[in-house]
Amino acid sequence: IVDRKLIIRELPATTTTESLIASIEKAAERGKIKISSVNDYTSKNVEIEIVPMRGYDTEKALQALYMYTDCSV
């Protein structure tokens, strides 16, 4: 957690950045996590930035990432 953003810098062994972002967007569409944007700044190192909606607790967003996305693989 950096400021109000969640930064993912490591991926599970069987996951790609594209599949992880797809699972995050799918969870957001189903209303499981409230995010305003997902940005992929990956080049040599993985860096996916997730910005929760205004007023949504970042700790709650982090827990939802582990519960409803491929972050828990």
Give pLDDT tens digits along the chain (73 positions).
888 999 999 988 888 999 999 999 999 999 999 999 999 999 999 999 999 999 999 999 999 999 999 888 8
Q: What is the pLDDT, as a whole number, of residue 52?
A: 94
Q: Which among 9, 45, 71 is positioned nearest to 1, based on CA atoms?
A: 9
CB-facing half-sphere around the CA of 66: CA atoms within 13 A: 5
How distant, in Å, are the alpha carbons of 14, 17, 47, 62 from that of 4? 28, 21, 15, 11
Which pair of tokens denotes residue 20?
């992880």
